[in-house]
Structure 1
Amino acid sequence: MTEPRDHPFVAAVKPLVDAMGGELMDPALAQPDDVVLTWEGRDLLAVRLPQLSESLDHILAALERRHGMPLARLDRKSKQDVVRILEARGAFSVRHGVETVAGALGVSRFTVYNYLNRESGAQGKPNKNSQE
């Protein structure tokens, strides 16, 4: 990037871009799908967003760091909490999302669907994922 990485705007958006698994880059290198951010009328920064499947991997890795262990080693209640968090973040709208999550949790797809249905039942609403 031509602009210093310590610019206040870059410092402000970097944690968000990192949390999404995005990449900061020089706006001159931006491709059509990248997001160019402007500061005081000048293109300052471009953000390359990850593909959805990469985002799911990034979220799973962040959850492992948060728990301090592989997700497969969590107890059942913690795995249910992870599924709830992932559902809120749209993880199951990604193709093969259920399979990816099941693999990370060390459970079957059926178990993930049970966790999803359990959460939906507890909230008294139908589960849009139960048809997949």
Structure 2
Amino acid sequence: MRPGDGARDAERDAILRALAPVVDGIAATFGPVCEVVLHDYRRPERSVVAVAGSVTGRSVGGAMSEIGMRMLARGDEARDELNHVTRTGTGALVKSSTMVLRDSAGTVFGALCVNVDVTEVDRVRGLLDALAGPVTDPPVTTFADDIDSVVDALLDAHLRRHGRTWAGLDRARRLALFRGLDERGVFAVRRAVEQVATRLGISRASAYHYLAQARATATDNPEGAHP
């Protein structure tokens, strides 16, 4: 542990403790359509340290979502994402805001997330929108207590977009897959490389090789195509 790490962790723990009652207060204010989740990014596999409401069905000790992984991948460059509309795996339409938490040094270490179920509002709006033409359906986001489910969903989504299995991807698309997962923060999660290797039916060594090559090509060509 570097000098000062203990003090910084104590500061972060204090911030999280101070925000715990805020979680309950916000959820109580908006009622049953609202869920508030407090995340500690120091432990992505079980980042949820406080939760009130049940819009996404998560509990304390649960994993971060794809949104959290994206924040984790951006590190201290992460910014608040407000009023982001998505769908859960069960079809509920959710408006989410993710506000990053920083310590006194400006380091991102967590997030406060507010999720509001706007499904019923959307149904009413749909009756009116039908008169004005089609609207774009928001993307599906996986929320789960199990980090493996989130990683699996990201992997499945990539393969579906390309309409191929791993065996059907050429080398460029395979590198794009690993680059995309890396940019979404997947490989910051412990055992993620092994999980991806198992799902793709390749060896762990091959997965690490593709990841290294994807990172190298991303550095050489930062404006390259993304999956």
- TMscore range, shorter length: 0.5 to 0.7
- Equivalence for 2:137: none
* Count, aligned residues: 98
- Compute the TM-score of the two structures, normalised by the length of structure 2: 0.35
% identity of equivalent residues? 33
Q: Is the 8 A contact 2:144 2:150 kept in 1?
A: yes
Q: Report the RMSD for the aligned CA atoms in angstroms.
A: 3.6
Q: Which structure has the highest helix share of the two?
A: 1
Instruction: Output the CA distance in 2 between the equivalents of 1:63 and 1:53.
Output: 16
The offset of 1:50, in angstroms, is 1.8
Of 143, 149, 171, the match for 1:49: 143
Q: Whose strand proportion is higher, 1 or 2?
A: 2
C-alpha distance in 1, partners of 2:142/2:197?
A: 28
Q: Distance in 2 between matches of 1:106 and 1:73?
A: 13
> Do 2:92 and 2:117's aligned partners in 1 also have CA atoms closer than 8 Å?
no
- Structure 1 SS opposite 2:116: strand
* Correspondences of 1:26-37 after superposition (within 5 Å): 35-37=114-116
- How much does 1:114 deviate? 1.4
Q: Structure 1 length normalisation: TM-score? A: 0.56
Greater relative contact order: 1 or 2 (C-alpha under 8 angstroms, separation 6 or more)? 2
Structure 1 position 66 matched with structure 2 position 161 = yes
Separation in 1, partners of 2:156, 2:117: 30
Q: Is the 8 A contact 1:98 1:112 kept in 2?
A: yes
Of 201, 204, 213, which aligns to 1:118?
213
Q: Contact 1:53 / 1:94 at 8 angstroms: preserved in 2? A: no
Looking at CA atoms only, which structure, 1 or 2, has the larger radius of gyration? 2
Q: Which residue identity does 2:176 align to in structure 1? A: D
Runs of 4+ with >3 A deviation? 21-25
2:153 aligned partner, one-letter code: H
| Gap regions ≥5 residues in structure 1 | 4-11, 26-33, 125-132
User: Gapped runs of 5+ residues in structure 2?
Assistant: 1-31, 34-83, 94-112, 122-140, 221-227
Residues 71 and 105, structure 1, Cα contact 8 Å, conserved in 2: yes
